[in-house]
């Protein structure tokens, strides 16, 4: 869910709102619901209702109101109504918020495969807007030092370059796309987001720089940072050189031989020594499950939701880990699911995708209305979130988010190795 994660990163770094799944209440919940509305004219009515219901002040709450207008702007963009989109953007007071909304709109147009030309136009205008105020002292908010503002602006340019490169890639303007993708990655592709690095590797190959693409992929393989797209590209290269991919897995494993050892040394000092919060909840078949049932076994809790794209993206790697480590208990706990049909929805999702997971449902706390057992005791700041519990019931490691299959598998393997070594 690159666009959504970027929007939260870029926009909310600048505002004071926090829309994490665990904390979305009141106005945050209202805004989240508004973002799901696809009819921009209905969004206008929702905006007005939110302003009235929460008595938002045009000055004090200008950032929140900017967000409401941004939701409307994106809705118009997705309907390909460029005139109304521009009108809504012009109503947003904060210039940085304008560029964040524009970039989000372009990204959504691309992800939903609606209109690459319009996305490219908006992405280019996003960059133009960014450069128009980047060095303008008047644009720097009160309370920001010049040093802080310059640092923030340097960070902010990445998604703007990246989305423009993405739009050029969609239009098959590969040479231009490569230029802007290089700028987005700041000549450090191995440190970039997986989706952006994958696009960069493809662009190198498409513009005749096959050896450079190959060396980048090999470097990422050594670091355990290949995602599925990059692995397929390396596979294609391997086949073109070797005639088949029969020994590709062995080759990649040999490249990563030092990754596990390095990860273990890196993780050991970070190991926790906390008693894992006890729980007793039901699985999707109605069977009660308690953490104490698995004393003497390593347990990995995976907190996820049907609406969480990164959670779902991590499932293929987690499925491999279940097959690789049958001695470890993997419990997938669905959290932050809304509505009256949670059980049916989660069950249908698991059955449709044929995931061989042991799935539990977080349950409301009887003595605390509005709170749930797992999220209240484990307190994740976001999902996906994983908790690694040793054989004695001690919580030893926590991890959050998802980047690539390779990184998740390597991290999980390293932690399991550490937990097995404990006496």
Q: What is the pLDDT of residues 201-256, one digit of tens each?
A: 999 999 999 999 999 998 888 887 888 899 899 999 989 888 888 888 788 777 76
pLDDT of residue 144: 67
Helix axes 95-111, 82-91, angle to 10 degrees: 150
pLDDT of residue 121: 98
Pairing of strands 329-334, 299-304: parallel
Q: What angle do CA 305, 306, 312 make, to 5 degrees?
A: 85
Asked if the model's pLDDT at residue 329 lies above 90, the reply is yes
DSSP characters for 69-113? HHHHHHHHHHTT-HHHHHHHHHH---HHHHHHHHHHHHHHHHHTT
DSSP characters for 199-224? HHHHHHHHTT-HHHHHHHHHHHHHTT
Please classify residue 71 by burial: count the beta carbons closer than 10 Å to its beta carbon, then call 0-12 exposed, 13-18 middle and 19+ buried: buried
The larger pLDDT score, comparing residue 168 to residue 193, is at 168
Report residue 391 as tokens.
């054989």
Report residue 312 as tokens.
């779902």
Asked if the model's pLDDT at residue 11 lies above 80, the reply is no
- For 283-301, give one letter per residue: b (16+ CB within 10 A) or e: bbeeeebebeebeeebbbb
pLDDT winner (highest mean) among 147-151, 186-190, 251-255, 324-328: 324-328
| C-alpha–C-alpha distance, residues 411 and 414, integer Å | 5
Question: For 333-391, what is each residue's pLDDT tens digit?
Answer: 999 887 778 899 999 999 999 999 999 999 988 887 778 899 999 998 888 999 999 99
Asked if the model's pLDDT at residue 143 lies above 70, the reply is no
Asked if the model's pLDDT at residue 13 lies above 70, the reply is no
pLDDT of residue 33: 81
Domains and CATH numbers, the chain: 2-187 (no CATH), 194-255 (no CATH), 269-421 (3.40.30.10)
Minimal CA–CA distance to 237: which of 260, 265, 266, 214? 214
What does the radius of gyration of the chain's CA atoms come to, in whole angstroms? Answer: 23
| C-alpha–C-alpha distance, residues 244 and 240, integer Å | 8
Q: 389 and 299 in contact (C-beta within 8 Å)?
A: yes
What distance lies between CA 194 and its chain's CA centroid? Answer: 11
Asked if the model's pLDDT at residue 159 lies above 50, the reply is yes
Question: For 119-133, what is each residue's pLDDT tens digit?
Answer: 999 999 999 999 998
pLDDT winner (highest mean) among 43-57, 168-182, 246-260: 168-182
pLDDT band at 95 (very low <50, low <70, confident <90, very high): confident
Model pTM score: 0.69
Asked if the model's pLDDT at residue 94 lies above 60, the reply is yes
Report residue 99 as tokens.
């560029």
Q: What is the number of residues in the chain?
A: 423
């Amino acid at each position: 869910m690159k666009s959504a994660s970027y929007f939260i990163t870029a926009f909310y770094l600048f505002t004071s709102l926090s829309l994490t799944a665990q904390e979305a209440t009141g106005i945050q919940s209202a805004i989240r619901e508004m973002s799901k509305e696809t009819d921009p004219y209905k969004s206008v009515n929702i905006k007005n209702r939110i302003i009235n219901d929460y008595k938002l002040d045009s000055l004090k709450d200008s950032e929140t109101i900017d967000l409401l207008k941004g939701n409307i702007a994106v809705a118009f963009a997705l309907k390909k109504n460029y005139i109304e989109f521009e009108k809504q953007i012009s109503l947003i007071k904060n210039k940085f918020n304008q560029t964040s909304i524009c970039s989000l709109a372009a990204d959504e147009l691309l992800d939903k495969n609606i209109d690459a030309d319009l996305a490219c136009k908006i992405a280019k205008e996003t960059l133009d807007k960014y450069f128009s105020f980047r060095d303008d002292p008047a644009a720097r908010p009160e309370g920001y030092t010049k040093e802080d503002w310059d640092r923030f602006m340097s960070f902010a340019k990445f998604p703007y370059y990246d989305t423009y490169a993405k739009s050029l890639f969609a239009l098959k303007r590969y040479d231009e796309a490569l230029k802007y993708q290089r700028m987005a990655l700041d000549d450090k592709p191995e440190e970039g987001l997986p989706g952006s690095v994958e696009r960069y590797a493809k662009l190198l190959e498409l513009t005749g720089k096959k050896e450079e693409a190959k060396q980048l992929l090999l470097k990422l393989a050594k670091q355990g940072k290949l995602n599925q797209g990059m692995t397929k590209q390396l596979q294609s290269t391997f086949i073109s050189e070797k005639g088949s991919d029969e020994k590709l897995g062995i080759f990649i494993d040999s490249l990563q031989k030092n990754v596990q050892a390095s990860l273990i040394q890196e993780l050991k000092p970070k190991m926790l020594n906390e008693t894992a919060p006890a729980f007793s909840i039901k699985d999707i078949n109605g069977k009660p499950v308690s953490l104490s049932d698995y004393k003497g076994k390593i347990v990995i809790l995976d907190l996820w939701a049907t609406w969480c794209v990164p959670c779902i993206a991590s499932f293929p790697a987690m499925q491999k880990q279940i097959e690789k480590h049958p001695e470890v208990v993997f419990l997938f706990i669905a959290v932050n699911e809304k509505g009256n049909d949670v059980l049916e929805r989660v069950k249908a999702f698991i059955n449709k995708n044929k995931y061989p997971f042991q799935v539990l449902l977080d349950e409301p706390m009887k003595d605390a209305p509005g709170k749930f057992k797992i999220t209240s005791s484990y307190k994740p700041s976001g999902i996906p979130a994983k908790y690694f519990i040793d054989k004695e019931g001690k919580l030893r490691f926590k991890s959050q988010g998802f980047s690539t299959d390779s990184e998740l598998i390597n991290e999980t393997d390293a932690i399991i190795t550490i937990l097995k070594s404990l006496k």
